[in-house]
Amino acid sequence: MRRIGTVFAAAWLAGCASLPAHNPLATWAPSPNYDQRRAGLIVLHYTGEGSTAEALRTLRTGNSGGPVSAHYLIGADGHIYQLVADAQRAWHAGPGRWGTLADVNSGSIGIELANDGHAPFAPAQIGSLLRLLGDLTTRLHIPPSQVIGHEDMAPARKIDPGPQFPWQQLADAGFGRWPRAPLLDPPPGFDPWLALQALGYAVDPPPAQRAAVVRAFHHHFRGMEGGWQLDAQDLRVLYTLTRQAPPAAGQ
């Protein structure tokens, strides 16, 4: 019994022990020239669950795919919960890519919005989200344009936060990317795939990935469901976005 107890104690310690402050293989010769590693992206989700309580439980345990979490969860009533510290790596993004960021969990803050994927997002919830985005972009120095949806970075796997999410309202408050009117007609030879890539979408083959990118783009920039091919209005939106620099921090 005693031996079994020792084994359990050792396993418990191994599971809970934090990394040593300094590598014992090296001589610690500290430099004052460093700061905290920082996230450079904010990824928005909907929970797809019936209630905030249910989502809280899932984000503190797991779903059918295994353990999951997010840094924040915002209820439909606007209440903001924090589940993981800003400096820690939450498990919200999974495989995918945005621009050059291939390990999105390591480089992002994840925010879940309690929403079943069908109901409109509540005004109180979006109000709290805007306050939280203001806080995070200021305090963590995340560029305000770097706010995307889960489906933007994983279009072949994810559909959240979906076509109902009010991206234009976010842009009006200074977050994310949105084309400012009037929309411009693209010149002959304009390549929409290069423009999508410049925004951050991974447009690599196979073709199925491109179709999924178009769906995510339609959700995000057109607020529409379906449509797996780019149309003339998409090209105007994309060309206009490429001509407009993202808003700088503080604007």
- So which residues are the catalytic ones? 112
Q: Which stretch binds Zn ion (CB under 5 A): 12-20, 58-66, 152-160, 243-251?
A: 152-160
Closer to Zn ion by CB, 91 or 193: give it: 91
Q: Quick check: 141 and 41 in contact, CB under 8 A?
A: no
Part of the chain binding Zn ion (CB under 5 A), chosen from 11-19, 41-49, 94-102, 130-138:
41-49
Among 70, 75, 104, 160, indicate the residue that binds Zn ion (CB under 5 A).
160
Phi, psi of 152, deg, nearest 5: -65, -35
Sign, CA dihedral 160-147-86-23, equals positive
Residue 207 C-beta: closest distance to Zn ion, Å: 24
Q: Return the residue of 44, 45, 55, 239 that touches Zn ion, per CB under 5 A.
A: 45
Tokens of 153: 């970075």
Report the SS3 class of residue 187.
coil
Q: Which residue has the tokens 């379906």?
A: 226
CB of 34 vs Zn ion, minimal distance in Å: 32
- Check binding of 150 to Zn ion (CB under 5 A): yes
CA distances from 114 to 46, 68, 109, 169 (A): 6, 15, 16, 18
Part in contact with Zn ion (CB under 5 A); list of ranges 5-13, 69-77, 157-165, 206-214: 157-165
11 versus 119: smaller Cβ distance to Zn ion: 119
Stretch that binds Zn ion, among 1-9, 43-51, 73-81, 189-197 (CB under 5 A): 43-51
DSSP state of 156: T
Closest distance of CB 151 from Zn ion, Å? 8
User: How far apart are alpha carbons 119 and 111 in whole angstroms?
Assistant: 18
Nearer to Zn ion, 49 or 160 (CB): 160
State the minimum distance, in angstroms, from the CB of residue 44 to Zn ion.
Answer: 8
Question: Kind and range of the H or E element at 46?
Answer: strand 41-46
Degrees to nearest 5, angle at CA 201 with 75 and 207? 115
Contacts with 84 (C-beta within 8 Å, 6 or more apart), sequence order: 69, 70, 71, 90
219 is a contact residue toward Zn ion (CB under 5 A): no
220 touches Zn ion (CB under 5 A): no
Identify which of residues 152 and 160 has a Cβ nearer to Zn ion in the complex.
Answer: 160
Q: Which residues bind Zn ion (CB under 5 A)?
A: 45, 150, 160
